[in-house]
Structure 1
Amino acid sequence: MIVVAGEALIDLVPLGAGTDDGPAAGPAATLPALAPRLGGGPYNTAVALGRLGSPVAFCSRVSRDAFGEALLGGLRAAGVDVSPVQRGDEPTTLAVASIGADGSAGYSFYVEGTADRLFAVPDALVAGTRAVSFGTCSLVLEPGASAYEELMRSAAAQGVCTALDPNIRAGLIPDADAYRARFKSWLPSTTLLKLSEEDAQWLGGTPQEWLAAGPAAVVVTRGGEGLTVFTRDGDELSVPGERVDVVDTIGAGDTVNAALLHGLSQQDALSPAAVGSLGGDGWARLLGFAARAAAITCSRPGAEPPYASEFGGL
């Protein structure tokens, strides 16, 4: 069982460009319509794992409002175990997306008083848990962030494989230096660190520095250029990206998270020791698999990760 811990939210994605004739347009100007989409980095990762066929559970706190019910419905449809999900009467977090000309996505968040911020540490992990994945807003917004952090440290102390994707949302981070220091404090409890080139630049470190602090491997995503893994043994291996007509990049990094965890499970390597000893051939297969999965997600709007039947395995 792979457990994904973190937020579930609603992405409000623009449909078309709207109309705007400039400042003179005044009340006549219109903004693009916004379509609600199920989302959140951890949520997308859980759905992607379910679609790939991995046994997966989602550990979070979800609203009882209509959005929350839809989020749970999306998890169940993907075969995700929702028994660890906590519920609350507070509203669902909203993320308003903006899509650039190259398909890249930016976000503005509405997070005050939302349900997922009140996540509490569960009494125990789901039976049979082999790995727990963390990341994104859930590790920023208190008081839930401290609860997720405690769960990460507890899982690592039990010898469980842990995966971390910080997925930086700078607009949610009030003190960048404090967050960077906190990120470093997670590394001794992290087995697999995955992050984008942009996240790495924002954090200001290097894969070698992070490896020295604890992870067995660091995977850096480079958009359409592919992925690179750095290992504690000093190895570095890259694979190219899969060429595809990009609609948008929403959920691409989350799909990579899921593909890495699913692929490690398929190679019976979901443990700290096994991740550390995975050879070059194993990493090449794993990164290539993740690149193919992410490309499919980028080829369609919103966070729509692929099903196992849509492409080959490792």
Structure 2
Amino acid sequence: MIVVAGEALIDLVPQGTGALAPLRPALGGGPYNTAVALGRLGSPTAFCSRVSRDAFGEALLERLRETGVDVSPVQRGPEPTTLAVASVGTDGSAAYSFYVEGTADRLFTAPSTLPVGTRAVSFGTCSLVLEPGASAYEGLLRDSAARGVFTALDPNIRAGLIPAPDAYRTRFKSWLPSVSLLKLSAEDAEWLGGTPREWLAAGPSAVVITQGGDGLTAYTRDGGVYTVPGEQVRVVDTIGAGDTVNAALLHGLAVRNALGDRELATLGPQGWTDLLGFAARAAAVTCSRAGAQPPYAHEVAG
């Protein structure tokens, strides 16, 4: 079982150009997209979050159920669902502005236990920024690592939500001793500062950096550096692509029985090349269609 902890929200995606283009609601949120992608790839998955009881919240949970994701750890509340207004550039890249005041996911409280059979817990995005929930997710990250559970972190920086960047960078560094796998985009890496080697020295067994269409690179604690190119595809937009990579990495490690720091160290060059290639194929499928629509297993087989 892989548990994904973090926010579920609604992306409002423009349908056309101009400031007043119609907005289409789409189910989203980095952790939410990761959970959906894991379910579609076939990994036993649970979602740990706090979701509104409004119509958006019901729709978010319904997709998780349809994908086979266990929603029993989800907390519910009467507050509204977080909204993210997306803007899509000419190259398909997405930027966001957020409506987060008084929303349900901010009031998450850490559970006393995780689902039976939990092998890994994944964290990231807005849920590690917005208080008071951020401290609860942080506590769950540290507690999971202390119990020997494999932990994955995708910071997925949304700079507009971070009022004190230097304080967040310090907090990010404090998480690293509790992280097994750190995945981040090249843009996130630049914003955070530091290098893969510095981050590895602080705790993670591996760091994976995505570079959009240029592919992915993994850095390992034993000095390994493994790179694969991106898959060529006609990009509709990049919404959910990084979340798909996150899910593909976790799914691939689960299939290889490598959800552990010692097991991760045994992958070797071929194992890493195969894993990164799988993640690149999965992300390409997501980029080839509008919105966060990660692939099913049969779409990335081979």
Deviation at 1:215, TM superposition (A): 0.1
Q: Residue type matched to 2:8 in 1? A: A
Deviation at 1:311, TM superposition (A): 2.4
Structure 2 Cα separation of the partners of residues 168 and 182 of structure 1: 13
The residue that corresponds to 2:204 in the other structure is 215
Larger Rg: 1 or 2? 1
The residue that corresponds to 1:132 in the other structure is 121
Structure 1 Cα separation of the partners of residues 9 and 262 of structure 2: 34
The residue that corresponds to 1:194 in the other structure is 183
The residue that corresponds to 1:10 in the other structure is 10
Deviation at 1:309, TM superposition (A): 1.6
Structure 1 Cα separation of the partners of residues 264 and 27 of structure 2: 31
The residue that corresponds to 2:174 in the other structure is 185
The residue that corresponds to 1:158 in the other structure is 147
The residue that corresponds to 1:111 in the other structure is 100
Q: Residue type matched to 1:15 in 2? A: Q
2:269 matches 1:287: no
* Contact 2:278/2:300, CA 8 A, preserved across alignment: no
SS in structure 2 of the partner of residue 38 of structure 1: strand
The residue that corresponds to 2:89 in the other structure is 100
Structure 1 Cα separation of the partners of residues 16 and 263 of structure 2: 46
Q: Residue type matched to 1:190 in 2? A: V
Structure 2 Cα separation of the partners of residues 212 and 131 of structure 1: 21
The residue that corresponds to 1:50 in the other structure is 39
Deviation at 1:211, TM superposition (A): 0.1
SS in structure 1 of the partner of residue 265 of structure 2: helix
Q: Residue type matched to 1:180 in 2? A: R
Structure 2 Cα separation of the partners of residues 278 and 149 of structure 1: 28
Structure 2 Cα separation of the partners of residues 262 and 102 of structure 1: 28
Alignment counterpart, residue 71 of structure 2, candidates 62, 82, 85: 82
2:56 matches 1:67: yes
The residue that corresponds to 2:298 in the other structure is 309
Structure 2 Cα separation of the partners of residues 275 and 174 of structure 1: 36
The residue that corresponds to 1:174 in the other structure is 163
Structure 2 Cα separation of the partners of residues 208 and 278 of structure 1: 19
Q: Residue type matched to 2:273 in 1? A: A
Q: Residue type matched to 2:181 in 1? A: L
Deviation at 1:204, TM superposition (A): 0.7
Deviation at 1:39, TM superposition (A): 0.1
Q: Percent identity?
A: 77
The residue that corresponds to 1:247 in the other structure is 236
* Contact 1:135/1:166, CA 8 A, preserved across alignment: yes
The residue that corresponds to 1:41 in the other structure is 30
SS in structure 2 of the partner of residue 277 of structure 1: coil
The residue that corresponds to 1:271 in the other structure is 260
More displaced 10-residue stretch of structure 1: 271-280 or 209-218: 271-280
Structure 1 Cα separation of the partners of residues 262 and 44 of structure 2: 21
Number of matched residues?
Answer: 302
TM value normalised by structure 1: 0.95
* Contact 1:191/1:275, CA 8 A, preserved across alignment: no
The residue that corresponds to 1:237 in the other structure is 226
Which residues of structure 2 form unaligned runs of 5+? Answer: none
Structure 1 Cα separation of the partners of residues 127 and 148 of structure 2: 22
TM value normalised by structure 2: 0.99
* Contact 2:145/2:178, CA 8 A, preserved across alignment: yes
Off by >2 Å, runs of 4+ in structure 1: none
RMSD: 0.7
* Contact 2:9/2:82, CA 8 A, preserved across alignment: yes
The residue that corresponds to 1:25 in the other structure is none
| Alignment deviations for residues 272-294 of structure 1 (CA, whole Å, 9 cap, x no partner) | 22123321111000000000000
Deviation at 1:271, TM superposition (A): 1.2
Which residues of structure 1 form unaligned runs of 5+? Answer: 19-29
| Alignment deviations for residues 156-196 of structure 1 (CA, whole Å, 9 cap, x no partner) | 00110000000000000010000000000000000000000
